[in-house]
Amino acid sequence: MRSLILLLGCLVTESTLTDPCGNYTVLEQPWRSTDCKDTDCSGQWMCDTRLGKAWYRLKSSGGWKIPEHVVPKRRCSTDFTIWLNGSHPTVGQGEVTKTVCFHGNTDCSYTLEINIKNCTDYIVYELKPPPHCQSAYCTDPETADALGLNDHSTQQSTDPDSLSPTPSPKTDTQYKMINVEVHSKMKVDDETAKGIVLKRLQQMTDEQCPGKSIDLNQVDVQCSDVDP
Ligand SMILES: *[C@@H]1O[C@H](CO)[C@@H](O)[C@H](O)[C@H]1NC(C)=O
Ligand SMILES: *[C@@H]1O[C@H](CO)[C@@H](O)[C@H](O)[C@H]1NC(C)=O
Ligand SMILES: *[C@@H]1O[C@H](CO)[C@@H](O)[C@H](O)[C@H]1NC(C)=O
């Protein structure tokens, strides 16, 4: 009996088709800033009820993150301000579900669950429309400074990147030690055995993880005899 010890490098490519980091709509709306009182920034009361449920990236001089603290009423160019009751996820946490609060009669008179993902340099939100007007998602203007955006937000709209975000594939290489025992009645040499085992492992990986493209790279194979 032969024992093959395979050190396999698994190249895991997260599918850009399903990753919201590469498929979102940019909302470049400075009027969402918590600094915007009443209708000062927009000339009219704003309402998100017609915002379709989808992934959005908030990107304007008014901020690029939903505030993690209570926002007073009549800010963000709306009456019922929407803020995040919780904190933004880290990259490692992936896609998380968080609660947003509507500031109505109380700080949190109505809530919605939204999904959030940290794409390292920016955040994407799967926003849902609020049930009634006037309510809108707020942005924290302090988070715009961190991105280096200034007040010339209209210039940002000509930025092709903000119109059609480029998907950025995430790759992650992980090494796993796999010990495979090969039982063979025929005298199969090591190279043939390695080839058969790798091919079968790749098939199993493709079956188990249909949404991902995982390539098994043979890094090192040691062969040793084991006592029967
Ligand atoms: C991007 O997301 C939208 C929904 O937000 C979806 O309809 C569309 O199929 C997605 N595009 C790709 C390439 O997955
Ligand atoms: C994403 O999370 C990392 C920690 O994993 C943090 O350093 C970074 O600031 C976050 N990105 C944003 C845009 O908040
Ligand atoms: C935020 O959510 C927690 C529950 O997770 C709740 O106890 C708290 O009252 C909420 N904050 C506000 C200001 O309502």
pLDDT tens string, the chain, 228 residues long: the values are: 555 555 554 444 545 568 999 999 999 999 999 999 999 999 999 999 999 999 999 999 999 999 999 999 999 999 999 999 999 999 999 999 999 999 999 999 999 999 999 999 999 999 999 999 999 999 999 998 655 444 333 333 333 333 333 333 444 445 455 566 667 677 777 777 777 777 777 777 667 655 555 555 554 555 556 554
C-alpha of residue 218 to centroid of ligand 2, in Å:
34
C-alpha of residue 81 to centroid of ligand 3, in Å:
15
Q: What is the pLDDT of residue 10?
A: 45
Which residue CA neighbors atom 12 of ligand 3 most closely? 108
Q: What is the pLDDT of residue 163?
A: 37
* 53 touches ligand 1 (CB under 6 Å): no
**What does the alpha-carbon distance between residue 226 and residue 228 come to, in Å, rounded to a whole number?**
6
Q: What is the pLDDT of residue 75?
A: 97
C-alpha of residue 100 to centroid of ligand 3, in Å:
10
Task: Please report the atom of ligand 2 found closest to the CA of residue 93.
Answer: 5
Q: How far is CA 47 from CA 29, 69, 139, in A?
A: 12, 20, 14
Q: What is the pLDDT of residue 16?
A: 53
Phi-psi label, residue 8: left if phi above 0, alpha if psi -120 to 50, beta otherwise? beta
Task: Please report the atom of ligand 2 found closest to the CA of residue 92.
Answer: 5
C-alpha of residue 199 to centroid of ligand 3, in Å:
52
Task: Please report the atom of ligand 1 found closest to the CA of residue 54.
Answer: 5
Q: What is the pLDDT of residue 156?
A: 34
